[in-house]
Structure 1
Amino acid sequence: MPWEERGARLDECRDVLAAWWHDDPVAHEGRTGTIMPSHVQVKPHGIPIYLGGSGRRPMQRAAERADGFLPVLLPDTVDQLDAVVNRPWQRLGDAAVAAGRPADAIGAALRYNVAADDDPAHIGRVLRRVAAETDVADVFVDFIDKDEVGDAAVELVGRVLDAARGGSRRD
């Protein structure tokens, strides 16, 4: 799919999900597909949609329609928490207000990319910094080279959790 079409496709997907989850009958006619008027019995409720992106249009899309924001923290941006998380989230809250929504209508979940061989103590320190220096309530650690983690993944996750809590796992 051409890069320039991703946003429009996401907008249409969001329209389809809104119709599917809330309308009866469900109907949609768009650029990429059509749903003829249909009765759908299963209507999930309360599924939050979090969007990422840092450009003007992705942030506007999140401000207007998303439940949450997905900033990404990379190993080389750890020292830039304010620029990576706090300022974009503030801009997002301001844009939500401009779109007629409360600033706190949008949550955040931070994705922290790490390599499988990163020091769990360092990862734990970063997670504690995130808790102290941002308003982000949820963080998930994404092991970039997860295919290489293999059987050691559970043990590594335990060590990261212990380090994030300020302790260390010796076993």
Structure 2
Amino acid sequence: MRIGFTLPQFGELAHHPQHVTHFARQAEALGADSLWVGDRLLAPVDPKVGYAGTDVIPPEFRSALDPFALLTAAAAVTERVQLGSNVINAPWYPPAVLARALTSIDLLSAGRLLVGLGTGWSPEEYETTGIPMAERGRRLDECLDVLTAWWTQNPVEYRGAHWTVPASHIDLKPAARPRPPVYLGAFAPAALARAARRADGWLPIAPVGRKYAGSDPIAALTSTLAGLRETAEREGRDPARFDAILRVNPDADASVEDIAATIVRAESEAGLGHCFVELSYLTKDVEHSLDLAGRVLESARAR
């Protein structure tokens, strides 16, 4: 199992951006396989939609560093780890701007980028970016079209309902040929169908902690992944090549053993080969983050 961790991006960790490169270097030295970012713009005072089925926004989201800046910083100081996004909220960005940023990070990292895209869930964030939330699925589809063209064609031209790229010479292509792998975060039926039809893989989530004791996220993702692979096969794709990378999302009360057990089950029961641990809710200090990462790696790999 490949095991990764989130970069220090949210909450108290975001107030010490000078520690990002230190964390990236040390996590790679500890044996981490990947480093990850998310994409949060703001934390509404009175949210119309809360986070993860709740009616509130986690206080950690009140402080957020830019995901592209963090991936760039990590690319500059590491040599081996993959660098992933879970997820970039693609409809917020003009696809050409997003393509330029992702191509640059992939080149800076010598082809280590894992592109994870989604649509987000916050109406206030869509209001702030000036993008109609009702168009988010269609805009994501167009973004995927533009990214594919940007990375595989030259000249590049695209004309859609929401975005346009006039015929242009785009000589700079990713180091990962023909393009970086693209994963989609998806939970609603239409989003899951899009992932099976268009993506290289899916980005599921497994919450860990006492309040989730009555649920079984590994069993749920195993069933969903099987359905996605069936859909991919119906679309004429090789289901064996449809991948998944799990985000282990622990509450503050989750132990290292709880996290390690979830990782082991994801491999043994769901057949997953890659996961990463969200550290934002577990620690406010970069050295504590590194200590947790080391103990999770040791516990998971000893089982």
Quickly name the TM-score band, shorter chain normalised: 0.7 to 0.9
1:106 aligns with one of 219, 233, 242: 242
1:142 corresponding residue in structure 2: 278
2:173 corresponding residue in structure 1: 43
2:260 corresponding residue in structure 1: 124
Instruction: Work out the CA distance in 2 between the residues paired with 1:52 and 1:86.
Output: 15
Aligned AA for 1:30? G
SS of 1:139's equivalent in the other structure is: strand
**TM-aligned CA deviation for residue 116 of structure 1:** 5.2
Task: Check conservation: 1:121, 1:160, Cα contact below 8 A.
Answer: yes
Percent of residue pairs identical: 36
SS of 2:277's equivalent in the other structure is: strand
2:227 is aligned with 1:91: yes
2:185 is aligned with 1:52: yes
SS of 2:246's equivalent in the other structure is: strand
Task: Check conservation: 2:186, 2:192, Cα contact below 8 A.
Answer: yes
2:141 corresponding residue in structure 1: 11
**TM-aligned CA deviation for residue 104 of structure 1:** 1.4
- Which structure 1 residue ranges, 4+ long, deviate > 4 Å from structure 2? none
**TM-aligned CA deviation for residue 29 of structure 1:** 1.5
**TM-aligned CA deviation for residue 57 of structure 1:** 1.0
Decide which structure has the larger Cα Rg and report it. 1
For structure 2, the residue ranges without an aligned partner over 5 or more in a row are 1-125, 127-131
SS of 1:118's equivalent in the other structure is: coil
1:79 aligns with one of 175, 193, 216: 216
Instruction: Work out the CA distance in 2 between the residues paired with 1:50 and 1:133.
Output: 21
Cα deviation digits, residues 21-42 of structure 1 (max 9, x gap):
1112101112332211111111
Q: Which moved more, 1:72-81 or 1:57-66?
A: 72-81
Q: Which moved more, 1:144-153 or 1:93-102?
A: 144-153
TM-score under structure 1 length normalisation: 0.87
Task: Check conservation: 1:116, 1:144, Cα contact below 8 A.
Answer: no
Aligned residues: 166
**TM-aligned CA deviation for residue 79 of structure 1:** 2.5
Cα deviation digits, residues 84-140 of structure 1 (max 9, x gap):
x11111110111111111211310101110135531122112211222111111111
Instruction: Work out the CA distance in 1 between the residues paired with 2:196 and 2:262.
Output: 27
Judged with a 3 Å threshold, the aligned counterparts in structure 2 of structure 1 residues 56 and 64 are, in CA distance, closer, same or farther, namely same
SS of 2:289's equivalent in the other structure is: helix
The answer to which structure has the higher helix fraction is 1
Aligned AA for 1:79? D
Instruction: Work out the CA distance in 2 between the residues paired with 1:119 and 1:10.
Output: 36
Judged with a 3 Å threshold, the aligned counterparts in structure 2 of structure 1 residues 12 and 54 are, in CA distance, closer, same or farther, namely same
Q: Which has the higher contact order (CA 8 A, sep 6+)?
A: 2
Q: Which moved more, 1:86-95 or 1:150-159?
A: 150-159
Instruction: Work out the CA distance in 2 between the residues paired with 1:72 and 1:151.
Output: 25
SS of 1:143's equivalent in the other structure is: coil
